[in-house]
Amino acid sequence: MNETTKMILVLTVICAACGFLLAGVRFATEERIEDQIMRYVKGPAVKRVLSAATNDPVEDRRQIDLDGKPVTVFIGRTGGKVASMAYETTANGFGGEMGVVVGYDIEKNCLTGIGITSHKETPGVGSRVTQESFSERFAGKPLDAAFSITKDGGAIDGVTGATISSRAVCRAVEQSVGEYAKIKEQIAGP
Partner 1 sequence: MAKNVWTEFRKGLWEEIPPFRLVLGLCPTLAVTKSAGNGLGMGLAATFVLLCSNIIISALRKSIPRKVRIASYIVVIATFVVIVELVTQAYFYPLYERLGIFIPLIVVNCIILGRAEAFASKNGVLLSAADGLGMGLGFTIALTAVGSIREVLGAGTWFGMGVMGTRYEPFTFMVEAPGAFICLGLLLAIMNAIGKKA
List of residues contacting partner 1 (CB under 8 A) = 3, 6-7, 10-11, 14-15, 18, 21-22, 25-26, 29, 32-33, 36-37, 39-40
**Residue 65 Cβ vs partner 1, minimum distance, rounded to whole Å:** 28
Return the number of other C-beta atoms located less than 10 Å from residue 164's C-beta. 17
Q: Which is nearer to partner 1, 1 or 188 (CB)?
A: 1
Nearer to partner 1 among residue 7 and residue 52 (C-beta): 7
Q: For partner 1, give the closer residue by CB, 23 or 52.
A: 23
What residues contact 156, with CB distance under 8 A and at least 6 apart?
A: 137, 138, 147, 148, 149, 150, 166, 170
> Which of 86, 87, 83 minimizes the C-alpha distance to 107?
83
Given a contact cutoff of 8 angstroms between Cβ atoms, the answer to whether 159 and 129 are in contact is: yes
Are 114 and 141 a contacting pair, CB within 8 Å? no
Least separation, in Å, of the C-beta of 121 and partner 1? 14
For partner 1, the closer CB: 13 or 181: 13
Question: Taking the CA atoms of the chain, what radius of gyration do you get in angstroms?
Answer: 21
DSSP state of 103: E
